[in-house]
Amino acid sequence: MFRSFIGIVLVALPLLAKTPEWERAQKLVGSEQYQQAAQVLEKAPQNDVDNLELLGEAYVGLKDFKKAIDVLDRAAGIAPTRSMIQVWLGRAWGHRAEANKLMAFSWARKAKDAFEKAVALDAKNIDALDDLFEYYVNAPAIVGGGLDKAESVAKRIAMIDPDKGKRLMTVVSRERSK
């Protein structure tokens, strides 16, 4: 029995390991060398969700939001339950909305939808909750923003990180008093 368990673990290990391209690119993204990371990942397997997610992050760093969205959509198709892909999609859509006033409403809604989906996929994903909070605080009601929604997210964050939740509740209070 123990031997068969070890055999299963050894067979599964390569599935858990990141590609060498990913390892190198992750270090480059970590040091904000987005162009070099993108060059590495563009040559990496395009069916590997980890490579695609990191390539999307690199494109966001390069402010190439269209490419980021294309790559992250592909990653989301491969791994539809991965919360962080939705976070990066939301960020890319949000930046794209900020850069194009004609499409801002449509793209802002896509950002909101991605952030909400990220939270729905992983209710404890602090990155997703933070981004959703920021969206709700800063976006007008016409595209789904609102302080009541922000307060609700701040309360959820407080259950994970009480100090941060308290700071965010202060932000909501300050915004309400404006």
The domains of the chain are located at: 18-80, 104-178
Same fold, 18-80 and 104-178: yes
Q: How far is CA 1 from CA 7, 14, 38, 111, 177, in A?
A: 10, 22, 44, 48, 65
Q: Are 162 and 170 in contact (CB under 8 A)?
A: no
pLDDT at 20: 83
Torsions phi, psi for 94 (to 5 deg): -65, -45
The string of pLDDT tens digits covering residues 117-152 is 999 999 999 999 999 999 999 999 999 999 999 999
| pTM over the 0.85 mark | yes
Domain 18-80 has CATH 1.10.10: no
Please give the class, per CATH, of domain 104-178: mainly alpha
DSSP code of residue 17 = S
pLDDT at 145: 97
Low-confidence ranges of the chain (pLDDT < 50): 1-16
